[in-house]
Each structure stands twice: as C-alpha cells, then as structure tokens.
Structure 1
Amino acid sequence: MENAQLITLSRQGALRNQLNVVANNMANLNTSGFKAQQLLFEEYLMPVAEATEFQTPDEDLSYVNDYGTAFDFSEGGIRTTGNPFDLAVEGDGFFVVQMEDGSEAYTRSGAFQLDQNGTLVTADGRPVMTEGGPITFGTADGQVEIARDGTISTEQGARGRIRLVDFENPQDLRVLGDNLFVGEEPLPLIPVRNVVQGALENSNVEGVVEMTRLIELTRAYESATKMQQDLDELRKTAIQTLGTVEA
C-alpha cells in the first residue's frame, strides 16, 4: 500500500474516533453533570514505511495519532428542580458513590432519590456516600434539609454530611460509565460551601458548537474517503497501463 494511502487511513481512523466522541457529547446534551470530552491528537513521524520506494531516504512521513481524550470540567449551569434530594455542586468537587464491590466512584450528577429502604441512592440505585457512609432515612425523619456545607438535617436533628472530594489533576480520572469516574487518591473538599439542594447541574456540552464540529468532521471524513478512492483509481489505471505496455 502506498504511503499516501497509509497516511489517509490514519486520518480516517482519527476522524472516526473523533466522530464517536462528538456523538457521545451530543447524546449527553441533557445529562445532568455530564462533562464534555475532546479527542487529543499528535503528529507521528514515521521514518520508515512499507513502500520505501515512494519516499526519499531522508524524508519522514507524518501520520495522525489520536492518543487520548481530555475532559472539559467547566461548570454547567444550575437549574432548580424543587426535589429535596437533587443536589448540585457549584465549583469544584465530586459526589462519592459506592459501587457494587464496595469501591468508590465519583460523579457531578446529583440526581439522587430514596430507594425502597429509604437509602439515598443515584438514579442507578448506587448508595450516595456521606462522611459516615451510606445514609438511610425513615418516616420519623420527616423533611430533609441539606445545607450549603453538605450537612443533612431532619426532624431528628443532624444526620451527617454529604461527602465531596476533589482531585489534584481531574484529567487523570477515567470514565467508568453511567456518568461516573474512577480515580486514585481523592482529596477531601475542605471547606464545603458549594452544595445546592433542590437543583441539578446541567451538562456543559454546547449543542451548537458540537453540531458545527460534527458537520466539519463529516465533511473531512468524506474528503479523506474521496482521496482514498482517487488513489485506488490511480493505481488501477497505472496497473492497466503497465499491463498494456508489456503486452
């Protein structure tokens, strides 16, 4: 395969992965606490390629390499819901969620609710962690109030405090799915002053920007595909011409 086709293929692969990232952003436009992602690219210089006869000895071939994704952790808008178990974080911080195996995951989505046992859980049924672990409410607790510092109060008095953590470098977090992240060495958020009860953080995806990017990527992919087709046609013509000359 000629070097031009190899380079074009690397471009197509990168564009396809970028399309997947943008499509995922668009799909989560209305997901509470969702953080947009962006694909990271770098130039990869290939000093040696398969078809060396198509390059000069001192020429490096430049390929496209998508080596990872970066998150946009900027804060989304806060919208009021009136649900006392909906929580939003203004500024830095992540809610802590307990997974099925007892490990912890982290999220910006505060769309919480009570399960059939009265335990505060995520929409997927995972317990929300306070500083003392999961918390369960009973009928005697009555109205639940959560202060800006995360303190949970009911008619029975103070019941605990919502646990919030942060990370030295949030870009090191890994996506777990269900709008959850996993990471090493979470740092306690001190002091906590940014919990909003009865509200949710919107996704920080900008629909117009992502739609524009989607159109640009689609056109770029079509252009790369057209280039591949043209190269195939050129090679086919060359083979036919050479075959005719030899005959």
Structure 2
Amino acid sequence: MNNVFYIGATGLNAQQSAVDITANNIANMNTPAFKRGVVSFSELLTSAAAPLNRATASGVVNSPAGVAADSSLHVFTAGELRTTGNPLDLAIHGDGFIELASDSGQTTLWRGGVLHVGADGYLAAPNGAPLKAMISVPHDAAGITISPTGQVQATIPNQAEPLNIGELELVMPADTRALQSAGDGVYKIQDESLVVSRAKPGEDNAGTLAQGFSEASNVSLSDELISLMLYQRAYASNARLVQVGDELMALANGLKR
C-alpha cells in the first residue's frame, strides 16, 4: 500500500519540476539568447527476489516504483537574430559558443549578448567574466569592430588604420546535454572528458559572429502553454493516485476494527 503513496509522490515531484521549467521558459521568452529548458522523465524501478513462479536468469524481478525528472537539460536550437544597432551587442549565427575565462578551471561558454569593457580593460560578458581570448581594449579607443570571422579591431583617434587587438574563436561541444546553466546565458561543462572542438568563425561549421545583433530566445509560447496543460493534468492524475491510496488505506484500517 505504501508503494502507491511513494509512486504518487515521485510523480507529483516530477510534474512540479516540469511545470517550474515551463513557467521559467515562458518568463524568459523575451530574454536575448535564452535557451528553453526541457525535462527528461525516467522510470524508477525496485528490485526484489523473484518468486518461484516467476524465476528469472538473474534471480530478481524489477517492479515500477515511480518516476524521476531531470530538469537540467536545454534545447540549443538557434534563435532569430535581430538587429539592435548597438556595436557592443554580439550574436552568433550558428551553433557555436564563445568561451569565457574561468577561475575554477571549468570550461565556461557564452552564447552571446552585450559586451562591455571591464575595469581591467578586457572585453567581458555581462556577468563580468572576460572573454577567454583576453582582448584588451585601449583606453582611448573610440569604437570596436568585430568581423563575422572573429577579428577584433579598435578605432584609435588620430590613427588612420584601425588597430588589431585580438581574435575570437568559437567552441562547439560534442554533446550539448552536458552543458549546465550557470545563469546570465552562461553554461559550464561539468564533464571535462567531453570532446570540445574549437574553430575560427566561418570554418568547420562553427558559425559566424554578428556585431550589432541580438539573438532572440528559442521559446515558442504556444508550445510551452500546451506543455503546461499536459503537465498540470499529469500532476492532477498523480494527486488522484495519492488520494485513492489514502481511501484504500482507510478501508483497510476499517476492516481491522
């Protein structure tokens, strides 16, 4: 009888996670470069010694014990690029990522957004982390130009030719499911054994850079609302399962009297 309550509880927790992820997707549908989260469900099993009439090769039998939800996954399909006119807006036309410098040693990736020059003079992401390329911007620079292929130049007053100050490359993880969100459009690779390739923008299908553009989120409101209704109905079904278990327990207790 207790299994009914446990299965219902795991279902409630899993569906609540799914509702939370969907609500977060809807809340961030206008956040630049936001990647929608998804939930992966898996069945929980319990193992017990097989009875004589159900002999198995391993001597055990697996029984359903509920459901678990992995809410750490994201869909990394590219969003629509929209022009902003701001030269510090940087988007990626393709599937690559820009690597950020990290004190922890973990590979930290950024999908793009609004650049700024940090207090130390290096180009940085909105969270303050400098780009892994460590591009130092001259203090008297009047403007910055980033080419589609990653060359970064600074316009210096009284200097006819722009100054080359660095070059960006794009990073492509072999499996984006290994990326964990760190907030602010930044992702970290938890498994350092994951194969990661690096290439210049425009080469090896790495995509290109788009200065003055912003990538829209890949959230579809209609899809999220449909998912939300499905998860809410599944939640109600699991709540009903717990209620039925309670009713059966009350009947069993009544029989003892």
> Does the pair score TM above 0.5?
yes
Q: In structure 2, do the counterparts of structure 1 residues 157 and 134 end up closer, same or farther at CA, with 3 Å as the change threshold?
A: closer
Change (3 A) 1:69 1:228: same
- Structure 1 residues 88, 57: CA separation in 2 closer, same or farther (over 3 Å shift)? farther
How far, CA to CA, are the matches of 2:242 and 2:107 in structure 1?
A: 47
Normalising by structure 1, we get a TM-score of 0.83
Offset of 1:101 from its aligned partner? Answer: 4.9
Aligned to 1:7: 7
Equivalent residue in structure 2 for 1:172, among 171, 178, 201: 178
AA aligned opposite 1:173:
L
What runs of 5+ residues in structure 1 fail to find an aligned partner? none
Q: 1:102 to 1:238 in 2, by over 3 A?
A: closer
1:137 maps to 2:134: no
1:49-198 equivalence runs, <5 A? 58=54, 60-62=62-64, 63-67=66-70, 69-101=72-104, 104-116=107-119, 118-130=121-133, 133-139=134-140, 141-155=141-155, 156-183=162-189, 184=192, 186-192=196-202, 194-198=208-212
How many residue pairs get matched?
A: 236
- Map 1:14-25 onto structure 2 (within 5 A): 14-25=14-25
SS of 2:254's equivalent in the other structure is helix
Shift of 1:106: 0.5
> Which SS does the other structure have where 2:210 is aligned?
strand
For residues 86-137 of structure 1, the C-alpha deviation after alignment (integer angstroms, 9 at most, x for no partner) is 111011210111235575410113221233554322222221233xx23223
Gap runs ≥5 in structure 2: 55-60, 156-161
| Correspondence 1:39-54 to 2 at 5 A | 39-48=39-48
User: Hey, what's the Cα distance between the residues in 2 that align with 1:137 and 1:203?
Assistant: 33
Mapped partners of 2:114, 2:154: distance in 1: 20
Could you tell me which amino acid in structure 1 is paired with residue 252 of structure 2?
A
Deviation at 1:60, TM superposition (A): 4.5
Q: Residue 119 and residue 69 in structure 1: after superposition, are their counterparts in 2 closer, same or farther (change >3 A)? A: closer
C-alpha distance in 1 between matches for 2:120 and 2:3: 63
Deviations 1:38-91 (Å, cap 9, x if unpaired)? 111223333439xx9xx9974743232335643211101111111101111011
Q: 1:30 to 1:241 in 2, by over 3 A?
A: same
Q: Distance in 1 between matches of 2:172 and 2:104?
A: 22
Q: What's the Cα RMSD here?
A: 2.7
TM-score (norm 2): 0.80
Specify whether residues 68 and 57 from structure 1 end up closer, same or farther in structure 2 by C-alpha distance, changes over 3 A only.
Answer: farther
Report the counterpart of residue 230 of structure 2 in structure 1: 216
Residue 198 of structure 1 and its aligned partner are, at CA, apart by: 0.3
Q: Percent identity between the aligned chains?
A: 28
CA distance in 1, matches of 2:3, 2:209: 55
